[in-house]
Amino acid sequence: ALAHDLGEITMNRDYLYRHGTLSEEERVDLARHPLLSEREAAVAGADRGAQLLIRWHHEWWNGNGYPDGLRFEQIPLGARILRVADAYASLTDARPFRNAYSEQQARRHLIEWTGLEFDPRVVRTLLALEPFKELQGYAPEVEPGPDLNIIADELMERVQQLGS
């Protein structure tokens, strides 16, 4: 999992670290990083299974991800888990263009994108975990908000209704 964004490092692009929206050309360029990361993992001796998880860590549950446009169960479970873990870690880390999300804000983001970007079962499993103590220093808590379990249950009902 630590090698999943090696391609970004090897790309060495300034736009990765600046404030502002990516241009279409930059967005297309950035979408190459899973393929570059897969290649770097191969060079480092990672087994083929790990290489493929790295390749597919930006695939979306609804098929709108990249690089291969996989959807639903076509995406291996390990890649779906890596997608959610990567999103959570990215959200709770400060970026040049935004502050770090609190744990509650990050969890809410995952809920809002469940069924689109994220596998609902993976998100539900993550939400069932105790707060991630090791990330609290990076994601300071804010005022308590709505009960995320209630929100998750409501969202899961909506996702199931859409699927029927």
For the chain, the structural domain boundaries read: 1-56, 74-163
User: pLDDT, tens digit, for every residue of 70-87?
Assistant: 999 999 999 999 999 899
Higher-scoring residue by pLDDT: 88, 157: 88
Distance CA 86, CA 60 (A): 13
- Of the listed ranges 13-22, 33-42, 102-111, the one predicted with least confidence: 13-22
In sequence order, what are the residues at sequence separation of 6 or more whose Cβ sits closer than 8 angstroms to the Cβ of residue 41? 3, 6, 50, 51, 54
Distance CA 99, CA 75 (A): 31
Task: Say if CB 128 and CB 85 are below 8 A apart.
Answer: no
Task: For residue 116, give both structure tokens.
Answer: 């689109």
pTM here is: 0.75
The crossing angle, in degrees rounded to 10, of helices 48-55 and 33-43 is 160
